[in-house]
Structure formats: C-alpha cells, structure tokens
C-alpha cells in the first residue's frame, strides 16, 4: 500500500497549526518534514496536558534537531528506543577535541553530517557543542522514550563515561548570560524611553515591567504569555491611598516545576497598569499578550519571538544612552534578585516570585549584593 506523501505532510501541518501558539511556526513546513506522525501527536498531547509553552518549544526544538541529525547520520528517523551505539555516536559527533580534529578529519562530526545540519539551519557556530546542550538533548531524548513506554540506554555506564571523557577533552569557560543585571535604577532608565502612548512604547514598557516585576521571567515565558494565563485578583490594600490592582500569571508546567505543578506569580500596581494600557490600546482580548507591530502600526495576531524580547532590552538600552552589549533579557532575571537583595527582601520571599529552584543559584545574587555593601568590604572606611 503506497503512502501519499503530500497528504501526509498536509496532515502534519494541519496538526501543527492547532498548536501554533506554542511552536516556532516560521519553521512549520520544516517541522512537518522532519517530525514523524507520532512525534506530532506527542506534541499535541503535551499541549492538551498543559505543558508550559516555553518547555514545549524547547522539546520541539530538541526533537527536530535529533530527527535531523539521525537522518543525516544514519539515513533513518530516530529509532525508539535508540540503541546504546547510537547514543554514543551522538556524543562523539557533538563533543570532540578541536586539536585532534585538526590532525584527524575523521574525529568528531563527519563533514557530510555537519554540512546537512548547517544547510538546514541547525548548526551555526563551528566547533564542538556546549556540554550542557548535549546533556539537555539527551535528556529530551530520554524523556520522549519514557513517554512511549520504552526503556532506553541513557543511564548506561558507557554513555556516562563517554560524556565525562568528552567534556574533559572540550573544556569551555562558563559564560554569564548578561554582563550586567537590570536593577531598579537601570530599569528606570529603560522605562524612561517608553514615555509616549505610541503602541511600541506601550508594549515595550509593559514587557519590561511585567518581565521584571513577575520575578525576572525568562524571555521565552514573556514572549509566549497568553491571555488565558492571566487572572484578575482582588485589590491589595495599602496604608495610604487607593488599593493596588493585582493579577496572577499562571506559568503552567515549566522546566523547573515538574509535571504536576502549575507555577503562579503575581503582579501588583504599576506593572498591571502598564499591561492593561498595552492590552487596551492593542485591542487584545485573547491569544498572545505581546505581539509584533509593523511599520504602519498594525498589531500582529501572533506572539513575539523570544529573541525579540532580547532585542527590545538592547534597543531600549541604546535609547537610554547605555551600552547595549552589556545588557540582555537575562539581565531582567538576574536584576530582579539583585534588586531584591539590595532592598533587603528575604531570599525565600524573592525566590517565591522568581521561581528559582536552586538556592545556590539564587543566593549568588544575594551574596554579591551583601559582599559589596557589607562590613567586610569596608574595613578601611
């Protein structure tokens, strides 16, 4: 029985369209070519189960890469479960010694595999992959294997040893995502560039305030935010003046929360006012919260790309007279905890809003702030 390939692709595209809000749809046609019918059905199931949009995007990106690599390296789609030899091949193709490669062209990823992935846009930089990226993609592969009710070889001693030895051969310095944190004073300078009622100013002001005040949300969480995630809360009474408006943001299933937890953060006061001003001006009542605006002032029905959040931070830094190279969207995340530390907010309270799971990671911002202002750094004062 022959398979109608065009009809099969059309069916996958139609299914992908039903979950367009949480997928990189500029690559829809490519995803339809790479992913199998079972892959697409798995993604749709995850959407229906309430997986967070940013987590699903990461899963989709990793799955598409794995399928593209498998086709280039073996000529076939990913096998389920994958044999240990294939997992080891994945490691050796992505973690290798540049010095060894210079004398042995067969070392590392084969040229034809690299050319195929680069031609499809899956490879940009040259050299071995970052170990964290390889581990993440293997973790995605392992998770998808388990969801199919299968046992993989991802915990095998041979695979663990291969990763450990490969990482030693390709040492890479740890890089900070943002050279400078966007603390309160920096945020004020960025917001000062968004003073008008022009749609772009209203949108960017809301993005900056919501991303910061909600605990320093990741750029993917802000770009993927939908109206369905927002819930009005009762006003917050204050000692003097009118009560402050409040709302909650349901983040859903994030990469740190686990399958059974719906992460919730809260906004109060000015950030809510900024968000409402944008939604009213853009006439957004459902769907994506933050959207592209064309040169004529038309608001797109689709969500901003996560990269656009980073671009907005840099553009506003430039307008504020700051060096855009020193700031990124991650600076809003690190800036929230740094500002909380500077204001003396207890770390556990700040972590409730930032949703950091690692005490060590969160406390690093606090430790830096405390050391700068503490007595130990001012012995000669």
Q: With cut-offs at 50, 70 and 90, classify the pLDDT of residue 2.
A: very low
Give how far the C-alpha of residue 353 lies from the chain's centroid of Cα atoms, to the nearest Å: 18
Is 73 part of any domain?
yes
Contact 47, 59 (CB under 8 A): no
For residues 355 and 75, give the distance between their C-alpha atoms in angstroms, rounded to a whole number.
Answer: 42
Let me know how many helices (H) and strands (E) the chain has, helices first. 17, 5
Do 149 and 15 fall within a single domain?
A: yes
Domain boundary among 118, 142, 169: 169
Counting beta carbons within 10 angstroms of the beta carbon of residue 220, is it exposed (0 to 12), middle (13 to 18) or buried (19 or more)?
A: buried
In a domain? residue 381 = no
pTM of the complete model beyond 0.85:
no
Please state whether the peptide bond connecting residue 81 to the residue before it is cis, i.e. omega within 30 degrees of 0. Answer: yes
Q: What is the pLDDT of residues 83-136, one digit of tens each?
A: 999 999 999 999 988 888 888 888 899 999 999 999 988 888 788 888 888 988
DSSP 303: E
Q: Which domain holds residue 33?
A: 5-169
pLDDT tens digits along 30-66: 665 667 767 767 776 666 665 666 677 778 888 889 9
Task: Give CA separation, 135 vs 74, 90, 98, 176, in Å.
Answer: 21, 11, 19, 19
Q: Does 306 fall in a domain? A: yes
- Is residue 380 one of the residues assigned to a domain? no
Pair 157, 202 in one domain = no
Tell me: the pLDDT tens digits for 140-156?
A: 899 888 888 888 899 89
Output helix, strand, coil percentages for the chain, rounded to the nearest 5. Answer: 55, 10, 35
Decide: 55 and 253 in contact? Cβ < 8 Å.
Answer: yes
Residue 252 lies in a domain: yes
Query: Is 349 buried (19+), middle (13-18) or exposed (0-12) by CB count in 10 A?
Result: exposed
- Number of compact structural domains in the chain: 2
CA distances from 342 to 194, 264, 364 (A): 25, 24, 13
In terms of domains, do 61 and 140 share one?
yes
Mean local confidence (pLDDT), 199-227: 93
Residues 148 and 204 in one domain: no
Q: What is the mean pLDDT of residues 19-37?
A: 56
Mark out the alpha helices in 244-358 (DSSP H runs).
270-282, 306-319, 330-342, 347-354
Residues 191 and 159 placed together within one structural domain of the fold: no
The residues, ordered by sequence, that sit 6+ positions from 381 with a Cβ below 8 Å of its Cβ are: none
Please report whether residue 240 resides in a domain. yes
């Amino acid at each position: 029985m022959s398979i109608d390939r065009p009809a099969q692709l059309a069916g996958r595209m139609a299914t992908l369209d039903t979950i367009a809000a949480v997928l990189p749809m500029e690559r829809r046609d490519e995803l339809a070519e790479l992913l199998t019918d079972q892959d697409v059905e798995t993604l749709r199931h995850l959407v229906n189960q309430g997986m967070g949009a940013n987590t699903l995007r990461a899963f989709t990106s990793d799955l598409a890469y794995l399928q593209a690599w498998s086709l280039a390296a073996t000529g076939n789609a990913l096998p389920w479960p994958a044999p240990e030899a294939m997992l080891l091949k994945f490691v050796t193709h992505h973690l290798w010694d540049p010095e060894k490669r210079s004398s042995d062209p067969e070392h590392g990823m084969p040229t034809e595999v690299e050319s195929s992935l680069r031609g499809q846009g899956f490879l940009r930089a040259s050299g071995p992959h970052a170990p964290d990226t390889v581990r993440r993609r293997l973790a995605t592969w392992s998770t998808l294997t388990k969801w199919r009710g299968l046992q993989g070889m991802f915990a095998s001693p041979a695979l663990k040893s291969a990763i450990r030895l490969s990482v030693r051969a390709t040492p890479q310095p740890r890089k900070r995502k943002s050279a400078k944190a966007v603390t309160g004073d920096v945020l004020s300078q960025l917001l000062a560039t968004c003073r008008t009622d022009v749609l772009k100013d209203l949108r960017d002001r809301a993005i900056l305030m919501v991303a910061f005040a909600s605990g320093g949300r990741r750029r993917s969480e802000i770009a993927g935010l939908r109206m369905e995630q927002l819930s009005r809360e009762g006003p917050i009474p204050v000692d003097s003046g009118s009560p402050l408006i409040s709302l909650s943001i349901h983040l859903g299933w994030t990469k740190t929360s686990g399958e059974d937890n719906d992460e919730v953060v809260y906004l109060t006061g000015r950030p809510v006012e900024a968000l409402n001003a944008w939604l009213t001006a853009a006439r957004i009542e459902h769907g994506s919260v933050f959207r592209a605006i064309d040169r004529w002032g038309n608001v797109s029905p689709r969500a901003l790309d996560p990269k656009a959040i980073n671009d907005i931070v840099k553009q506003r830094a430039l307008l504020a007279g700051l060096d855009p190279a020193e700031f990124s969207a991650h600076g809003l995340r690190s800036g929230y905890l740094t500002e909380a530390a500077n204001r003396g907010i207890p770390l556990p309270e700040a972590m409730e809003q930032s949703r950091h799971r690692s005490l060590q990671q969160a406390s690093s911002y606090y430790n830096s702030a405390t050391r700068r202002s503490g007595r130990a750094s001012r012995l000669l004062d």
